[in-house]
Structure 1
Amino acid sequence: MAAKSGASGGGQDGGRSQSASEKPAKKLDETQGDKELLNPCGENAEATHEKFVQDHKPAPEKPAAHLTGASFTASGNSTLQWEHTLGLAFLQDMGYKGGSLICNKPGHYYIYSKLYLGNSGCPHNEQKNMWVVHSIYKRTPRYPEDRPLLINNILYCNSKDSTFWWHNSFLAGVVQLEENEEIYIKVSERQLVRIKDEFKSYFGAFMI
């Protein structure tokens, strides 16, 4: 299954992603056999993959998790925290700690994240084109640094005359996870995330 990223929005905005006519998404580490894809996309990616996530019923014998809402760590970095027990959120043979989903059983996982972004107006400065980066990262003892799995670059407030800006960013793809490896969500402009909404912002994974 190929990884996807997509977005939809209103006001003066856009999503920066590769089209089908451009070169295929690049594997991060072909020598390791990883299936992580950097900045992949496709037409109607958000609608089709979001519907797939919503309709999917995880098998009881396979690991799965769905986290909802979004907030930020007390240290103020760009890693998102999530609700993992209440409402629609659940953990099924997966762990959660400090914003990260923790793999308990090695295998291929379908991972996904949706963020609802918005602001009441654009900043009053000379900078017209600003980018918001929504990404899924993996933390593993196999590498000295955390590795990006999926990235979506979103054009934010490219017009000073914009009175309101909103945007849905969606990422999804298949990755190989080993035991105790972690995945988590980062966003570059945290003030744009509309937090504490379990239907509009969420993060999850399930073994395929």
Structure 2
Amino acid sequence: MDSHRRPPISVFSVEDYYTQQAAPRPPLVRRKIGRGTQLMQLALLVFSLLAFCGAASEIYFLMKVESTLRATQDMIHEKAAAQKMISRPDFQDGPPKPSAHVTGLPVVDISPDVSLQWDYRRGLAFLHEVEYKDGSLVCSKTGLYFIYSKLQLGLTKCPKNTENSIFTHRVFKRHSTWNITIMDNIKNFCDTQGSSVWRGSSFVSGSFMLEKGDEIYISMSHKHLIRVQGDTDTFFGMFMVYKAQNE
């Protein structure tokens, strides 16, 4: 036997340096958006715009409803306050104090310089220690008086330009030879959008010291707006709250 044996040959698999690196990723390919996807996105955009418009319309409608309800509540409160002035004075606590309540008449003279005329004889109208004189209530005793006036208003055909549609409802006191305004109410009319028919009212009230002989009368700038339909729509009155000490 041969005593000189060759050692076994080791077989090694040597990989190249470059082959050990990771293989390069394939290039990204942009996916083309199909026509169906574009239509879907357009439909979603349209639906979103419709939803936004619907929400805006609903908010606008709610605001209009709220405004209408607020105006209606104001008119209800105004009418309720005015109705309290109609009842005749309570005579149970002693002799009645000077008081008067007169109701509306159809307007004949629409001149703003002429005071309104009133019915002081029929229906709810009455005079007690107060004289009626050509549209005025004449104070007979000095003291503190509560004075009130309500006008029911309306117009069947509003003008196209309503920017200057403003009326003035005033209460005057005539003392000897001079007149002063003691109350006034300045409001817009024909302010109802989208309608040629307008309905409204004006109410003023307050307490004032009057002397014997003072005259109280009502002036209205746009008399053609006044609507007289009954004793409870348009009226004017006063009653003594406190009598002067020297009377």
Query: How far apart are the structure 2 equivalents of 1:121 and 1:75?
Result: 18
Partner in structure 1 of residue 216 of structure 2: 183
How big is each residue's C-alpha offset from its partner over 1:154-207, in whole Å with a ceiling of 9 and x where there is no partner?
111236732210112111100011011100011100000013631100000000
Question: Following superposition of structure 1 onto structure 2, how do residues 69-88 of structure 1 map, counting pairs within 5 Å?
Answer: 69-72=104-107, 74=109, 76=111, 77-88=113-124
Does 2:78 align with 1:46?
A: yes
Would the alpha carbon gap of residues 44 and 199 (structure 1) be closer, same or farther in structure 2, given more than 3 Å must change? Answer: closer
Does 2:127 align with 1:91?
A: yes
Using structure 2 for the length normalisation, give the TM-score. 0.60
SS at match of 1:123: coil
Question: Following superposition of structure 1 onto structure 2, how do residues 18-167 of structure 1 map, counting pairs within 5 Å?
Answer: 46-47=78-79, 49-55=81-87, 57-59=89-91, 60-72=95-107, 74=109, 76=111, 77-124=113-160, 126-141=161-176, 144-158=177-191, 161-167=194-200
Would the alpha carbon gap of residues 52 and 197 (structure 1) be closer, same or farther in structure 2, given more than 3 Å must change? Answer: closer
**Contiguous gaps of at least 5 residues in structure 2:** 1-66, 242-247
Query: How far apart are the structure 2 equivalents of 1:71 and 1:177?
Result: 29
Percent of aligned positions that are identical: 35
Q: Which has the higher helix share?
A: 2
**Contiguous gaps of at least 5 residues in structure 1:** 1-9, 15-41
The residue type paired with residue 220 of structure 2 is V
SS at match of 2:178: coil
The residue type paired with residue 157 of structure 1 is C
Contact 1:111–1:205 (8 Å) recurs in 2: yes
Using structure 1 for the length normalisation, give the TM-score. 0.70
Aligned residue-pair number: 167
Query: How far apart are the structure 2 equivalents of 1:44 and 1:159?
Result: 18
RMSD (Å) for aligned C-alpha atoms:
2.7
Higher RCO (CA-CA < 8 Å; seq separation 6+): 1
Query: How far apart are the structure 1 equivalents of 2:164 and 2:142?
Result: 41
Query: How far apart are the structure 2 equivalents of 1:68 and 1:43?
Result: 19
How big is each residue's C-alpha offset from its partner over 1:80-129, in whole Å with a ceiling of 9 and x where there is no partner?
000001111000000001100000111000000010000002123x3434
Q: Which has the higher strand share?
A: 1
Would the alpha carbon gap of residues 134 and 146 (structure 1) be closer, same or farther in structure 2, given more than 3 Å must change? Answer: same
